[in-house]
Amino acid sequence: MAVNPADRSSIAVSGRRRFLRLAAGALAACAAGQRAFASLPARELGFLNLHTGERLRVPYWENGSYIPEALSDIYHVLRDHRANVEHVIDTRLLDLLAQLQSVAGRVANFEVISGYRAPATNASLRSRSTGVAQSSLHLLGKAIDIRLPGCDLGTLHRAAVGLRGGGVGLYRSSNFIHVDTGRVRYW
């Protein structure tokens, strides 16, 4: 079907107007999204590494983004202190810890028993304990062993289980809980 040249120009104008309306709408949506991100509260975590004595309290997420410098500081504090090796820590684990702190109603620093573990460290710990998995999620920066001052261990464990964010283990005799971002399971 042939289109009359006069009709072509009205179609082109109509198409341009439609495009400009859509573009304006998209820009407005982006601006609203930025305002929405800006209104979200920052996420902050604090840690006390019980082996090194290092303390860190830092906002690690603001305005819809993780803060690279803060993540780097977290990687350092949660490093394998035996091998002095840093590793990327799963941001889902950090978010899970922030949720756990909120649900537990405590803003104290998490006391860290074990964060990232290098393979040699994990093997050494495994040779001395039946509670250390050969393919531990600590090796991937997806697990942490913690306690939270002012929060009963059983209460902390129940709060972590309730989040259903991954694996949660209770180690009463060693006074810590294990939290990871693997499949949901409890022990």
Q: Are strands 185-186 and 167-171 parallel, antiparallel or unpaired?
A: parallel
Is pLDDT above 80 for 47?
A: yes
The one-letter amino acid at 137: L
Residues 160 and 70 placed together within one structural domain of the fold: yes
Q: Count of domains in the chain? A: 2
Would you give the DSSP letter of residue 139?
G
Residues 27 and 55 placed together within one structural domain of the fold: no
**Residue-level pLDDT at 75:** 98
Instruction: Compute the distance between CA of residue 152 and CA of residue 156 in angstroms, rounded to an integer.
Output: 6
**Average model confidence (pLDDT) across the chain:** 87
**Residue-level pLDDT at 36:** 47
Instruction: Compute the distance between CA of residue 157 and CA of residue 169 in angstroms, rounded to an integer.
Output: 7
The average pLDDT across 24-47 equals 66
Domain range spanning residue 178?
A: 43-186
In Å, what is the CA distance from 163 to each residue of 39, 120, 143, 148, 171? 24, 31, 15, 16, 18
Residues 58 and 20 placed together within one structural domain of the fold: no
Residues 47 and 28 placed together within one structural domain of the fold: no
